[in-house]
Amino acid sequence: MRDHDLPAPERRTRGKRRFDDDEPFLLKRGRASAPAAADLDAEPGPEPDQEEPWSSWDDAVHGPQPHPDWLVTELAAKDTELGVLKTGKEADVHLLRRAVPGTDRSCLLAVKRYRDAQHRLFHRDAGYLEGRRVRRSRENRAMAGRTAFGRQMIAGQWAAAEFDALARLWEIGARYGTITVPYPVQLRGTELMLEFLGDPDEGQAAPRLAQLRPEPAELRELWAQLVDALVVLARTGFAHGDLSPYNLLVHAGRLVLIDLPQVVDVVANPQGPEFLARDVRVVATWFVARGLPAAEADPAALTALLLREAGLR
């Protein structure tokens, strides 16, 4: 990616808090959604079952505007659970159809639900949380002490951090085409709704990079897309924090970054450069193992470039 493709942002000084505006998200509570079985191929009927909840759009924090044309934002829509796409230690991802009864207006969404305070959070989460603070000292103490309330606050920060990062990166990608992430539809407490990437007819999610065995030309193209995306992240002040071939999708020829709750502020977090270097090392190792020449995927050279783009060198 050439320098003029994306203007470098104003450099920030160490210690500036990126996540202060997350606090309202942590206190937001939404209605519980009762799961309902549905056939992926079935058209929405004129009168959905009474157990199907109304769309939660009205009481959520919304993604960037203008909203994509495919997104259903009508308050008359109903949300229908279609099953589980992925389970994890910290969150589960469900497939959901949002449709307006009696019309052909519908869309598929991926719904990421973070575990409540009684479940495990991320391994070694203290390192990721450095540089993230909320305004009230009581809440900071609760998070530091991992009380029940503090753990719920942390869970909310994971969701809010991912939503905030996706919103910023999606706007950059929409404008410059240098990075691709799922559109962040809405945020309600610890529930994050995202654009579904995959086959809408089959409800099959796009494959992860780890599942693929690209030919040499495609491998080089995917590496070039990854470098562009990492430069965007660095210029925005971010490191993914948990980047691997399992957190990258390939959809319609584009490499898509997903799973960003552990996004790290490389300026405010003292361990930021280490997280960034680890991200680069993990993905570079995968590409070299698949046949990309080591000289083209040099982790040290790429890490140095990204640190310069982040204003740290």
Query: Which CATH number fits the domain that encloses residue 94?
Result: 3.30.200.20
The one catalytic residue in 242, 265, 279, 298 is 242
The reply to whether 70 and 198 lie within a common domain is yes
The reply to whether 33 and 64 lie within a common domain is yes
Q: Nearest CA to 194 among 44, 64, 33?
A: 64
The reply to whether 38 and 186 lie within a common domain is yes
- Report the distance separating Cα 28 and Cα 227, nearest Å: 36
The one catalytic residue in 259, 265, 279, 298 is 259
Q: What is the pLDDT of residue 150?
A: 52
**Coil/strand/helix, residue 129:** helix
Domains of the chain: total? 2
The reply to whether 99 and 176 lie within a common domain is yes
Q: What is the pLDDT of residue 187?
A: 97
Domain that holds residue 187: 29-205
DSSP state string for 210-262: GG----HHHHHHHHHHHHHHHHHHHHHTEE-SS-SGGGEEEETTEEEE---TT
Does residue 23 fall inside a structural domain? no
DSSP state string for 136-160: -HHHHHHHHHT-HHHHHHHHHHHHH
Last residue of some domain: 205, 233, 266?
205
Does residue 46 fall inside a structural domain? yes
The reply to whether 185 and 242 lie within a common domain is no
Residue 89 per-residue DSSP state: S
Does residue 12 fall inside a structural domain? no
Last residue of some domain: 180, 205, 230?
205
The reply to whether 163 and 270 lie within a common domain is no
Q: What is the pLDDT of residue 166?
A: 97
Q: What is the pLDDT of residue 52?
A: 74
Does residue 216 fall inside a structural domain? yes
The reply to whether 193 and 214 lie within a common domain is no
Q: What is the pLDDT of residue 148?
A: 52
Does residue 103 fall inside a structural domain? yes
The reply to whether 86 and 139 lie within a common domain is yes
Does residue 146 fall inside a structural domain? yes
**CATH number of the domain residue 300 falls in:** 1.10.510.10
- Ordered mean pLDDT values, 10 residues apiece, the chain (313 residues): 48 39 31 37 44 88 97 97 90 96 97 72 48 48 50 70 95 96 96 96 94 97 98 96 96 96 92 96 98 97 98 87
Asked about 259 being catalytic, the answer comes back as yes
